[in-house]
Amino acid sequence: MSHIIAPSLLAADFTRLQQELQMFEESEAQWLHLDVMDGVFVPNISFGANIISQLRPLSKKIFDVHLMIENPSHYIPSFAKSGADIISFHAEATNHVHRTIYQIKDLGLKAGVALNPHTPISLIENVLEDVDLVVLMSVNPGFGGQKFIYNTLQKIKVLQEIKNERNLTFDIEIDGGVGLQNAEKILQAGATVLVAGSSVFKSETPKETIQRLKQVGLGNLNF
Ligand code: DX5
Ligand code: ZN
C-alpha cells in the first residue's frame, strides 16, 4: 500500500488559511496534520480546538490532530467535537497512556501515541496492540522548519520489527524535517505516514511537492 502524506498546517500562511486548505483539498495528500501546542509541554503556543472546528467545513479529508500539551485527557473531548478524525497525544505528557488511548477510541476516533526524539520505543511497548498510530518525532517538538534527527531511522526500524513480529497494523508517522531529500530512507525504514510542514507549505509549488512526496518509493521519480 502506498504511504500517506500529511501536510502540517503549522507552516501554512495563516492570513490565507482558506486558500491553503483549498490547495490541500485539491492535492494528493490524504491527511491534514494539525499541531496543537500549549506553551507548557513545548516552548511554543499554536492553536486550539476552536480554529480546528472553523477549518473543518473546508475539507472532507482526515484531520490528524497532534496534541503537544500537558494533561491531554482534559482537552480530548473538545478536540473530538472540533472534528478531529485522529488524535495523538504524547506518552511523556501523561501517567495514563492506556486510559487516554481508550478515552479517544470511546469517542469514536482513531488514537495515536507520540514520542519525543529521546524517548525509547520501549515506553509504549505494552500499548502497541491498542493504538492506530505511533508518531515518532524526528525533531524536538515545538517548531516547524527544523533539521531531521537521523537517529529516528533506527527508531523506526525497531518499531517496524515489533510491528512485524506481532502482526500489528498501526501506522508509523514521522514528524519533523521531512522532505524530498530524506523521504525515501524514512519509508524504507518502515514509515507509513510522512508529516511535511515547511517542505510543502514553504514550497513555491506545494501541490507538486505533495505529488512528488507521494511518488517516492514508487520508482517513478522525475526530478
Ligand atoms: C513540530 C510539529 C511538526 C512540524 C513539522 O513540533 O509537530 O508537525 O509542524 O514541520 P516541518 O515539516 O517544517 O519540520
Ligand atoms: Zn506534529
Residue 33 Cβ inside 6 Å of ligand 1? The answer reads: yes
pLDDT of 223: 46
Q: Give percent of the chain with pLDDT exceeding 90.
A: 96
Is the distance from CB of 202 to CB of 164 less than 8 angstroms?
no
Q: State the average pLDDT over residues 199-208.
A: 98
Residue 176 Cβ inside 6 Å of ligand 1? The answer reads: yes
Q: State the average pLDDT over residues 11-22.
A: 98
Please give the grid coordinates belonging to residue 171: 501506522
Please give the grid coordinates belonging to residue 199: 517542505
0.85 exceeded by the pTM?
yes
Which long-range CB contacts under 8 A does 72-76 form with residues at least 24 apart? 72/100, 73/99, 73/100, 73/103, 75/49, 76/100, 76/103, 76/104, 76/107
Give the ligand at the shortest distance from the Cα of 117: 1
Q: How many residues in the chain? A: 223
pLDDT of 222: 47
Q: Helices in 27-89 by DSSP H: which ranges? A: 49-55, 72-81
List the catalytic residues: 35, 175
pLDDT of 61: 98
pLDDT of 218: 78
Q: 73 CA to middle of ligand 2, Å?
A: 18
Among candidate residues 55, 52, 93, the one with its CA nearest the CA of residue 73: 93
Residue 206 Cβ inside 6 Å of ligand 1? The answer reads: no
Between CA 196 and CA 193 the distance in angstroms is: 10
Is the pLDDT score of 167 beyond 80? Answer: yes
Is the pLDDT score of 166 beyond 50? Answer: yes
Residue 87 Cβ inside 6 Å of ligand 1? The answer reads: no
pLDDT of 220: 53
Select from 195, 200, 210 the residue to mutate for testing ligand 1; criterion: most ligand atoms less than 8 Å from CB: 195
Is the distance from CB of 193 to CB of 173 less than 8 angstroms?
yes
Q: State the average pLDDT over residues 175-192.
A: 98
Residue 203 Cβ inside 6 Å of ligand 1? The answer reads: no
The tens digit of pLDDT for each residue in 56-112 reads 999 999 999 999 999 999 999 999 999 999 999 999 999 999 999 999 999 999 999
Looking at ligand 1, which atom is closest to the CA of residue 145?
13
Rg (CA), the chain: 16
Burial of 219 (0-12, 13-18, 19+ CB in 10 A): exposed
Q: 1 CA to middle of ligand 1, Å?
A: 24
